[in-house]
Copies of this chain bind each other. A is one copy, B any other.
């Protein structure tokens, strides 16, 4: 057995950064293959191959227009990914609450010095404020 095919899932399809870039580009509107080649600055066969994968998992749709093929984003399959991760958001938010609690405790300890001298109790998670 080997790794699951990239065309198995939105999960697998989207694990490839270049494919994410393509989707991001397509989020700005329909694009022809050449458009994408220019925008991503990669070889044309590479783009075509990635588009094939995306097509097979239903993340893009194609339309023929003369000798060009216009690709359009089809976000639906991403829902699966979203639904899975979204529940974890709560956790990293809670984690900050937890951190706050710890900081609160530290402050309390400083105010009311209750020494137990030994362990400096790893300050492992001290820099993660930013954002949100």
Residues on A close to B: CB < 8 A?
A: 3-4, 6, 9, 11-12, 14-17, 20, 23, 27-30, 73, 75-76, 78-79, 81-82, 84-89, 91-92, 95, 124-125, 127-129
Contact = CB atoms under 8 A, between A and B. Distances in A.
A127 B28 CA distance: 6
Nearest to A31: B124
15 contacts: A3-B3, A3-B6, A3-B16, A9-B17, A14-B15, A28-B127, A28-B128, A73-B91, A75-B88, A75-B91, A75-B92, A78-B88, A79-B89, A82-B88, A85-B85
B84 A20 contact: yes
Contact of A28 (B6, B14, B28, B129): B129
Nearest to A81: B85
A9 to B, nearest CB: 7
Given A15-B11, A79-B92, A129 B27 contact: yes
A99 to B, nearest CB: 12
Contacts of A79: 89, 92
Contact of A81 (B29, B75, B81): B81
Contact of A85 (B9, B82, B95): B82
Given A4-B16, A11-B14, A88 B27 contact: yes
